[in-house]
Amino acid sequence: MTDLNQFEALGLDERSLMALDKKGFEEPTPIQKEVIPILLKNEVDVIGQAMTGTGKTAAFGLPIIENLDMGVTHVQAIILTPTRELAIQVAEEIYSLRGGRRFKVLPIYGGQSISGQLRRLKSGVEIVVGTPGRILDHIGRKTLDLSKISFLVLDEADEMLNMGFIDDIETIIEATNDTKRVALFSATMPARIRQLSKKYMGETKLIRVENKQLTTDLTEQIYFEVNKRDKLEALCRIIDLENEFYGLIFCRTKVAVDELANRLIDRGYNADGLHGDISQQMRIRILDKFKEKRTMILVATDVAARGLDVQDLSHVINYSLPQDPLSYIHRIGRTGRAGKTGTAITFITPDEYRKLSYIKREAKTDIQKGTLPEVEEIIDLKRNNIITKIDAAVKEETGKLYRKMAQQLLQENYPEDVIAAIIKMTYSDELDASNYTKMRAGRKDRGIEGEGKTRVFVSLGKKDGYTPKKVVEFIKNSIKIKDRFIDDVTVMTDFSFVTLPYQDAEEIIALFKKKAKGKLPLITKANKPSGGGNSRKNFKGKKSYKGKREGKRSFKGRPARRRDK
């Protein structure tokens, strides 16, 4: 079977196949093979037990799209996600699968302008993707009507449980109609999630997908902590430290790919960019140049890099931290192939250390901390490389013309002056230390290695008279901490969330565990690995680094069912 024939066999129509082809999908993933045919038939609810990064979004997104009723503009599908980042990612993925169909997808999450959301909801939206808190807010305002939906998706249900959203989810489900189709996806199935499924789902098909571990034994894995504004400088230093860098650099978005590729080209590197907006003809041309080593650096998104098989990459660089452990394994697995060693490098900003720890733990892999090379180290290496090249050229036959020119120069100048002038003419730009910028020094008292950020649950909310300001004051009165290290405060009716440096979180949790004396503590971990984008401002990290290198239409015919109150 060809790639598209495998998708066509699942029951997808021509427009969906066209969208999949444009995105460069090679073949359906296991979860897609199982879930898509079931949801297209619209006969039973689905529980999918699978890790993030296994293709879940397309598994539920394509059936939703194909079952949209294009004659109406009310909300026909609601997708709940635990974080704003995932809401945006899911919304973008679904929209990219539209295949020429005309419908609207709206991500709704906290921290975004409520007025903009109100305006777009009023204009008519078919699919809403959102976090429970903001969805509940709109339901309370009567600006989001879920009484006519055909599809409800709970994505990463166990993560929403860990973050304390389970009661909000039940309230949201109570605002929906009884005839909708429900799809629940979760990496694990704790008792509370099983109870939720029994209460709100009808006849259900359970799909389990095994998370197969890919080998990374032949890949050296290093991470560098670096401030966001210094990422390009860090990347250039790593590239310049290699005699022959041949690598794939991953960014999270298409815009980031274009920006990074252009900045590398402006600096004189042999680079190109690849993402989903690039035509198939251009994609083939770019990949051919990269495979033939006419381009040595390829910047790409995860989707664009699907199907790329290059045997001898020296490096894979995660310029943006992957969304999940499986994505990390897929990325770095592109080095260390065919028995060859490779190096995988990951850049993390100060607030991403906890997410990196989560990836290391779930992927069962060892990622060692590295330090970036100083400018002097790179210049010294370049000098040695130049000397080696010239020495090799001396041993080759140069020809009479060049010898005659050399004799003429030596008659009028000292040999050292002649050689120095030639080196200057040829390599002055390459040996110019001003090509490198000074990387920002960070705070010395809080290195992210032992810290990072983590999310904390506080069992005080609006009903207790708490506002974000009062939560900050409460934290400061409990432990010694400055305002700038208290971040992303979210106050709900009965509880609040706040992001703290890991070490401070451990201190305040230990304090309230001691005070609880067997009762439930006032403050606990939210069990959510922190990642990039959850906070509004970053820490200042330690000074960077010296180098380490080791060379839907409406669903019909659904019988109503009773929901227990």
| pLDDT per position as a tens digit, 165-222 | 999 999 999 999 999 999 999 888 889 999 999 999 999 999 987 655 444 555 789 9
Domain end point (choices 319, 350, 372): 372
What are the start-end ranges of the E strands in 378-501? 453-458, 487-491, 496-501
Report d(CA 202, CA 179) in Å as an integer. 10
Please report whether residue 411 resides in a domain: yes
CB-count exposure of residue 189 (10 Å: 0-12, 13-18, 19+): middle
What letter would DSSP give residue 483? G
Q: What is the CATH number of the domain that holds 105?
A: 3.40.50.300
Residues 341 and 391 in one domain: no
Domain end point (choices 208, 232, 253): 208
Residue 241 has pLDDT above 90, yes or no: no
Please report whether residue 71 resides in a domain: yes
Domain containing 424 equals 376-435
Residues 189 and 318 in one domain: no
Determine which helix (DSSP H) or strand (DSSP E) holds 387, and give its type and residue range.
Answer: helix 375-394
Report d(CA 24, CA 153) in Å as an integer. 25
Residue 550 pLDDT: 36
Report d(CA 274, CA 281) in Å as an integer. 12
**How many other C-beta atoms are found inside a 10 Å radius of the C-beta of residue 515?**
12
Determine which helix (DSSP H) or strand (DSSP E) holds 504, and give its type and residue range.
Answer: helix 502-516
Q: What is the CATH number of the domain that holds 483?
A: 3.30.70.330
Please report whether residue 442 resides in a domain: no
Mean model confidence pLDDT for the chain: 81
Higher pLDDT, 535 or 124: 124
Please report whether residue 556 resides in a domain: no
Residues 345 and 405 in one domain: no
Helix 502-516 crosses helix 468-478 at what angle (to 10 degrees)?
Answer: 80
Residue 451 pLDDT: 45
Question: Tokens 């890991």 — which residue?
Answer: 502
β partners of residue 369: 223
State the maximum Cα–Cα separation within the chain, in Å, rounded to a whole number. 102
Q: What angle do CA 79, 83, 86 make, to 5 degrees?
A: 65
Please report whether residue 101 resides in a domain: yes
Residue 551 has pLDDT above 70, yes or no: no
| pLDDT per position as a tens digit, 426-475 | 777 777 777 777 775 444 334 333 346 778 888 888 988 999 889 888 99
Residue 547 has pLDDT above 80, yes or no: no
Residue 541 pLDDT: 31
Report d(CA 133, CA 139) in Å as an integer. 10
Higher pLDDT, 76 or 283: 76
**Banded model confidence at residue 411, pLDDT cuts 50, 70, 90:** confident
Which residues, at least 6 apart from 15, have a Cβ–Cβ distance to it below 8 Å?
A: 98, 99, 100, 101
Please report whether residue 540 resides in a domain: no
| pLDDT per position as a tens digit, 18-65 | 888 877 776 888 899 999 999 999 889 999 987 666 788 999 999 999
Residue 212 pLDDT: 53
Residues 194 and 229 in one domain: no
Residue 531 has pLDDT above 50, yes or no: no
What are the start-end ranges of the E strands in 493-539? 496-501, 523-529
539: Cα separation from own chain's centroid: 20
**What percent of the chain stands above pLDDT 70?**
84
Report d(CA 248, CA 301) in Å as an integer. 10
Please report whether residue 431 resides in a domain: yes
Residues 32 and 154 in one domain: yes
Please report whether residue 444 resides in a domain: no
Residue 544 has pLDDT above 50, yes or no: no
| pLDDT per position as a tens digit, 481-502 | 887 788 878 888 888 888 888 7
β partners of residue 173: none
Q: Which pair of tokens denotes residue 92? A: 């973008």
Residues 362 and 281 in one domain: yes
Residue 552 has pLDDT above 60, yes or no: no
**Banded model confidence at residue 561, pLDDT cuts 50, 70, 90:** very low
Q: Lowest mean pLDDT: which of 76-90, 465-479, 524-538?
A: 524-538
Residues 180 and 49 in one domain: yes
CA atoms within 13 A on the CB side of 250: 28
**CA 414 to each of CA 402, 408, 418, 419: distance values in angstroms, whole numbers, following the listed order:** 17, 11, 6, 9
| Contact of 541 with 227, CB cutoff 8 Å | yes
**Banded model confidence at residue 480, pLDDT cuts 50, 70, 90:** confident
**Three-state SS for 99?**
coil
| pLDDT per position as a tens digit, 55-71 | 889 999 999 999 999 88
Domain end point (choices 160, 178, 208): 208
Which residues, at least 6 apart from 387, have a Cβ–Cβ distance to it below 8 Å?
A: none
Residues 361 and 480 in one domain: no
Residue 536 pLDDT: 28
Residues 271 and 306 in one domain: yes
Domain count for the chain:
4
